Amino acid sequence: MTTSRIAPVDVIIIAAMEPEIIPFLNQATELGEPRQVGNAVLYSGLLAGRRALFVRGGIGLVNAAGAANSALLLAGGEVPPLVISAGTAGGLGADVRVGDVVIGTEMINADADARAFGYVLGQVPGMPASYPSPGPAIQAGLDGVPTERTAATVHHGVVVSSYSFVGHDRAPIIKGQFAGVLATDMESSAIAQTCHVHGAPFLAVRGISDLCGPASEADFIEHVDDAAERSAEVAIPVIAAWWAAQAG
């Protein structure tokens, strides 16, 4: 394990699993040797001309938070990098289909429940009720979507995260609890919370692998690679749009 600080980067891309980070590594240049910090595996490189840190963080909220914290401590500079939560998600929105991409405008922890102490459902005590992406990041998610993709393919809205893989039993419960939710994953809200405490901008860009239905597990296995590719296909030009706006 190595914890030595590395050069500041422009963007940190965090995905839980190997198939989710590979599409980004395949597009990278000057890719360095992997280094492991805790459960996270990190690669430095260039992506679309920007200095990038690619992180395979592991599945679940704690793994995601640890990976994001390590990456920001190791590679964050005076200007915090844009952090992207990439990979796959289950679709919950009425118009969301397998193969679509959801860009999260607001992230919520679906497992947090301290309502007994006056907090709202989804709010970790002492933290915000949700984690909205900053306006410039959302605008980059609007401006940077590849022109060859139709507007109906990429959705913008609420993403919730849970420690449980959401299937058909829990999907209607989550949709009833969180208005307007479009997708669910197991990492984004934890990465967003970590970015919040570090003051780093955050955006989730997730390809839809299943629709949280009766066959969600089989659908996920069948579509994970394609959904991960679509996440990268949208995220990379969004990153370019973000930095073009910063330069302007």
Average pLDDT, rounded, for the chain: 92
**Residue-level pLDDT at 20:** 98
* Integer Cα distance of 150 and 170 in angstroms: 30
What is the b/e burial string over 61-74, where b = at least 16 CB atoms within 10 angstroms of the residue's CB?
Answer: bebbbbbbbbbbeb
Concerning whether 143 is annotated as a catalytic residue, the answer is: no
**Residue-level pLDDT at 248:** 65
Catalytic member of 20, 106, 219, 233: 20
The model carries a pTM of 0.94
Mean of the pLDDT values across residues 78-102?
Answer: 95
* pLDDT greater at residue 150 or residue 138: 138
CB under 8 A, 24+ apart: contacts of 228-231: 228/15, 228/19, 228/20, 228/22, 228/23, 228/86, 228/87, 228/88, 229/23, 230/99, 230/100, 230/101, 231/15, 231/20, 231/23, 231/86, 231/87, 231/88, 231/101, 231/205, 231/206, 231/207
Concerning whether 210 is annotated as a catalytic residue, the answer is: yes
For 20-61, what is each residue's pLDDT tens digit?
A: 999 999 999 999 999 999 999 999 999 989 999 999 999 999
148 band by pLDDT with thresholds 50, 70 and 90: low
143 band by pLDDT with thresholds 50, 70 and 90: confident
Q: Averaging pLDDT over each range in 64-78, 151-165, 181-195, which range is the top one? A: 181-195
CA-to-CA separations, 200 to 14, 18, 178, 190, 194, in angstroms, rounded: 14, 24, 25, 13, 8
**Residue-level pLDDT at 132:** 96
DSSP state of 29: B
**Residue-level pLDDT at 151:** 45
Q: Roughly what angle, to the nearest 10 degrees, separates helices 188-198 and 61-75?
A: 30
Name 142's Cβ contacts closer than 8 Å, sequence gap at least 6.
156
149 band by pLDDT with thresholds 50, 70 and 90: low
**Residue-level pLDDT at 198:** 96
**Residue-level pLDDT at 112:** 97
DSSP code per residue over 2-28: --------SEEEEESSHHHHHHHHHH-
Residues 203, 133, 44: CA angle, nearest 5 degrees: 30
Mean of the pLDDT values across residues 78-97?
Answer: 95
Looking at the predicted structure, is the pLDDT value of residue 152 above 50? Answer: no
Catalytic member of 100, 106, 185, 210: 210
Contact assessment for residue 139 and residue 103, using Cβ atoms and an 8 Å cutoff: no
Mean of the pLDDT values across residues 86-112?
Answer: 96
Looking at the predicted structure, is the pLDDT value of residue 236 above 80? Answer: yes
DSSP state of 166: P
- CATH fold, domain 11-247, is Rossmann fold (3.40.50)
For 103-138, what is each residue's pLDDT tens digit?
A: 999 999 999 999 999 999 999 999 999 999 999 888
Report the share of the chain in percent with pLDDT over 70: 96
